[in-house]
Structure 1
Amino acid sequence: MADELELLRHANPVPSDDPRFHDRPLDRPAEARLDALTRAGRPRPDRPRRAPTLGRLLDGLRPRRPRRSRHWAFGLGAAAAVGAVVLTLTLSGPTTVPAVAAPRPLVVAPGSAALPLDRLAGLAAASDDVLRLRQGTHVQSWSLSMTSGPGARPPVTLPEERVVRWAADGSHTELVVATDPRHPGRPVVTDADPVPRTVQDGHVLSRRTYPPSWSDAPPRAEPPHDAARLRAYLDEIDRINPMGTDELLDAVAELLDNWTLGSRETTALARVLADAPGLRPVGAVTDRLGRPGQAYVYDDTARSVRRMLILDQTTGAVLGLEDTVTRADPEYGVEAGAVMSYRAWLR
């Protein structure tokens, strides 16, 4: 505390022994120093905001209940009418390349049969695939970077691929690469301050090694393969809010950001999802990595968000999760129908 107080004393625009301090206005130099001091901690109005949860991304909509701080929930940007809006972002030089701001939301195949989750759980239990649980993850994401306020720029899609691998000693590595499998070999938009920029496909954004961690709390703890215990495990990931379907989907995403599930855990998860209120089957889809699956939709009317969970129709494995806004947020330039979040998990 002493260090902070000393800093404040040095920053004092008018020393205590200055005769002007008592009941007199500050002179111009003092006003300038005071103004600089009070502005020092303010956030920059044009700083990009990448929220850790979809609720914060949609500050203009109904605010979400407080949640524990989490790693950034991957998302997908969108533009007006969900069309592919072209932006020109500058490389480190005079060359410019067009960057597609928003692909369209996933569409259910017309006339496809909707497979109920309880039936899918039965198919998963009978599957011949015998996959083992593995700590670590491999996820492809499209995340949204956007600003608000005067001079705000349009939302921009940031495609990334993240691979997390754990070692026997409890340490783990995380590799994040800028890449978009929809456009292999083309420059990729990545986040930068104050504006996004483009980098070459496969550009390493970060490579980190973390020391051993022996946490025994979810999602670090090994997930169970019994449906009832897995439900309790997912509930423990978010201890702040009651476990509704929206919170369940968030917990599932966090689980998959830490673990690659085996066959038994996948079956248990399908049974947990089968009991989720409001999560309804809508038919077959092809995900953004070209994999066939079954789509299950939950409408969060309170936050005006439509959430689509995509599962492998044979094994029950979660392939992806897509969140779409059903009401516009003018503050951030987000239109109704915009895909705000998409991530695809791989083995």
Structure 2
Amino acid sequence: MADELELLRGADPVPPDGPRFGDGPLDHNAERRLERLLREPEDRLPGRTGPLPGRTRARWWGLLTARYRAQRGLRSGRRPGPRLPGSGRQRLAWGLVATAVVTALTLTLVLSGASAPPAVAAPRPLVVESGSTPVPLNRMAERASAAAEAPGAPRLRKGTHVQSWSLGMSDDKPPITLPEERIVRWRADDSHTELVVATDPRHPGRPVLSDAGGKPHLVDDGHVLLDRTYPPSWSDAPPHSPPPRDPARLRSYLTESQFTGTPLTTPELLDAMATLLDHWTLGARESAALARLLAAADGLRPVGRVTDRLGRRGQAYVNDSGGVRRMLLMDPATGAVLGLESTLTRPEPAFGVEAGDVMSYSAWMR
């Protein structure tokens, strides 16, 4: 990665210490370098000879596009970019031209065929902080039980608020990562609303990939994908019925929600937990029951402290099974589940993914 960053710094037409940074149009040298970048084959970079691996090309172009957008003030949404000199019409014309260049480049990469490099690489896996002390799950369960007895402890609420990243794969197109935020709220009459927007909090204001309509395309940050109200409905079957507060009963509840009819393996337990959290925002007592259930699971080992994609710190627990690494993230103070990440541990060439690619990540919020 360090080598790629050095190549990027050398190729950047607007370096951060440049005298014209943020003040106006590119100078002649920068214009020439940008023209070269856009016209020359993408597998030839300054300071390097020979082709780069496909995923390296994709990451490099992604970094260059993001860097160029940020430095030329081409942000969209909440964060206005720097003002350009000249008349309003000139500023608008430059913005439209530059935006068209970047968008055309991005869409060319995103929508290219199977022989092209992956358009948008999956986010990097969460990283355990060096030197952090792992907390055993049984101790986390004790903390969750203590939090459940505290005055004003959170109560169970039907509905969810979750930020997710999912890897879309097919056998004829490059994989793409789709970031979405989903909010489900239930009303007293058993009707509920569902709001889904395309957004990535790691990159506020930038365009976001979506596959709504069946084809991948860019949409504005915060673009509404779904806003719907559903009529009253009720079910006493898991995961629609309220989860119990006892670990043994909760295990039976999760088993029933997965329709397996057999005891859940640890990967199946984590998947069932994710299904539960996509329907319910757990109270402190339900979180304590879940923590005790997870503490009794086989093959879920503590690895240390991790900061998730929403900037929250938690304790991480890992299970490796069937070519997938699942990382559970829990609040170190309350034992509540913060997130679940699934990462490939072996490549899947038919789908253009490699070991270490993040298949999915969910970050649950209250």
TM-score w.r.t. length of structure 1 = 0.71
**Distance in 1, Cα, partners of 2:145 & 2:331:** 13
Unaligned runs of 5+ in 1: 1-78
- Aligned sequence identity (%): 64
**Where is the strand percentage greater, Structure 1 or Structure 2?**
1
SS of 1:213 mapped into structure 2: coil
In the alignment, which residue of structure 2 is the partner of 1:266?
Answer: 287
In the alignment, which residue of structure 2 is the partner of 1:340?
Answer: 359
The CA deviation at 1:84 is: 3.6
**Distance in 1, Cα, partners of 2:345 & 2:162:** 26
* Aligned 1:19-30 pairs, distance under 5 A: none
Residues 83/232 of structure 1: CA separation in 2 closer, same or farther (3 Å cut): farther
**Distance in 1, Cα, partners of 2:329 & 2:311:** 12
* Aligned 1:136-175 pairs, distance under 5 A: 136-148=159-171, 152-175=172-195
Root mean square deviation of aligned Cα: 2.3
**Distance in 2, Cα, partners of 1:278 & 1:105:** 20
Residues 105/342 of structure 1: CA separation in 2 closer, same or farther (3 Å cut): same
The CA deviation at 1:110 is: 1.0
Higher relative contact order (CA 8 A, sep 6+): 1
SS of 1:106 mapped into structure 2: coil
The CA deviation at 1:94 is: 4.9
Contact preservation (8 Å) 1:84, 1:104? no
TM-score w.r.t. length of structure 2 = 0.68
- The answer on 1:253 being equivalent to 2:274 is yes
In the alignment, which residue of structure 2 is the partner of 1:21?
Answer: none
The CA deviation at 1:159 is: 0.7
Residues 85/101 of structure 1: CA separation in 2 closer, same or farther (3 Å cut): farther
* Aligned 1:16-165 pairs, distance under 5 A: 80=55, 84=59, 86=61, 94=100, 96-97=102-103, 98=106, 100-127=120-147, 128=150, 130-148=153-171, 152-165=172-185
Contact preservation (8 Å) 2:184, 2:195? yes
Unaligned runs of 5+ in 2: 1-53, 66-98, 107-118
Residues 209/83 of structure 1: CA separation in 2 closer, same or farther (3 Å cut): same
The CA deviation at 1:239 is: 2.2
Q: Which amino acid aligns with 2:195?
A: L
Residues 126/249 of structure 1: CA separation in 2 closer, same or farther (3 Å cut): same
The CA deviation at 1:257 is: 0.2
1:296-339: CA deviations, max 9, x gaps? Answer: 00010xx2111100000110111110011111111100111111
The CA deviation at 1:100 is: 4.8
Q: Which amino acid aligns with 1:221?
A: S
**Distance in 2, Cα, partners of 1:123 & 1:265:** 13
**Distance in 2, Cα, partners of 1:229 & 1:241:** 15
